[in-house]
Every structure is written in C-alpha cells, then in structure tokens.
Amino acid sequence: MRTRWVPLGRRCWSPGYGGARPAYIRAVTSSTTDPIPDPIPDPAVVVRDTVAADLHAALALNNANLPALNELDAPEIARLVSISHTALTAEVGGTFAGFCIAIPPGVDYASLNYAWFSRTYDRFVYLDRLAVDPAFRRYGIGRAFYAALIERSRSEYPRITCEVNIRPMNEGSLAFHHSLGFREVGQQDTDGGSKTVSLLALPLDPPHV
C-alpha cells in the first residue's frame, strides 16, 4: 500500500493554510491495482467556518436528505454546531452548496454510532453529517470538506471516524471513503435492526513541523 498527497485545488480553503496554498488529502492506492483517480475540487469552491446565517440553508438541505440524514429542527442543528469540533460550509460563487459537522469525544450526543466510537476510542473526531446541494454535485465538495477536516483535526486527534450504510448498501459512499483511506473497524445494526452500518476510521498523521 502506498500513500500519495493530492492537491485539492488552489482556492479550496483549508484551515492551517493561508492564501492560495493548496490543501492536501491522502489518497491510498494498492500496489496491485490501478491508481484511484484524483478528482480536484472546482476552483470556485470555498470552504469556511459555519456561521449562524448558514443554519437556515443547512437545515433545509439536511431535511431534504432524509433518511440518509436524520431529521433536525432549528434548535437541534444550532446545538450540533455549538458542540462541534468543526462545522464547515461550502460555497460556490458565493452560493451555499453544502455543510458538514464533526463532533469531538466526550460530549452529550445521543447517537448509537457516536457511542460506539466513544466506547472504542479515547481520541477521535466523529463526522456526524455531510450534505451537498444536488446542484453542486461533482464539484469535489466532499473531498474539500475532508481536506479541511483533516487539517483541523490532525494536531489534536489521531483519527477521523464515520459510518456508511451497508444494509441497504451505499456502494458509492463506501468507495469514496475507501479512496480517502478510511477502513472498516466494526459494524453495527441501527434503526431497530433495519439498517447495518460499516464503522470507518481514517488514521491521521501528525502535522509536519
């Protein structure tokens, strides 16, 4: 297995980098397979901290993605942002295009998957939700979010965690996360046994000094 660091576009903002310096994300390929393509976010994509003015659009996008994301109301999404380690918003040409929220360990959050990671690891960042407006799919926004989250997390935590449905199977999301270097660390049933998730973790290298 070899690791490459792939630039994610000149205007894709990532914490820890200033101006036009590129963010990088780890793309893992097997020595026995063809390299995974390196989609580069559109130069118009800007990723920044979520602010209160973003929450109305984020809530609407969240609730348009049921049942992939659980339904929220305005107080709930505001609380998630308030307890988050990282809350990010993507814009394309100044237009809201997506959001993501990542939760640190040790907070009061009633999630079966967060609870599993809390029992398994002392130090981790849990990507609770990520949503992209359908009008801006194929802009590389998911990779831009992960690049920013990695840079926000790597100095504090050794891994990023998340889950992907495998019953029903979400092959696209699973392949995407594997291409970033996530690997399965467990499985569990959710929603009263009607779903099964693959619990994933991405090891983080500490920042280079």
State how far the Cα of 190 lies from the Cα of 209, in Å rounded to an integer: 41
Tokens of 78: 């505001």
State how far the Cα of 138 lies from the Cα of 176, in Å rounded to an integer: 12
Q: What is the pLDDT of residue 43?
A: 85
Tokens 């992960």 belong to: 146
User: What structural domains and CATH numbers belong to the chain?
Assistant: 43-203 (3.40.630.30)
Q: What is the pLDDT of residue 39?
A: 57
Q: Quick check: helix, strand or coil at residue 191?
A: helix
State how far the Cα of 52 lies from the Cα of 78, in Å rounded to an integer: 8
Q: What is the pTM of this model?
A: 0.80
Of 34, 146, 36, nearest in space to 90 by CA:
146
Burial class (CB in 10 A: 0-12, 13-18, 19+), 97: buried
Q: What is the pLDDT of residue 32?
A: 26
Contact (CB, 8 A) for 103 and 84: yes
Q: What is the pLDDT of residue 115?
A: 98
State how far the Cα of 163 lies from the Cα of 173, in Å rounded to an integer: 10
Could you list the mean pLDDT of each consecutive 10-residue stretch along the chain, which spans 209 residues?
A: 33 32 32 38 92 98 92 98 98 97 97 97 98 94 96 97 95 94 97 95 86
Residue 54's alpha-carbon distances to 106, 113, 156, 192, in angstroms, are: 26, 26, 26, 33
Strand pairing class (125-132; 95-103): antiparallel
Q: What is the pLDDT of residue 67?
A: 84
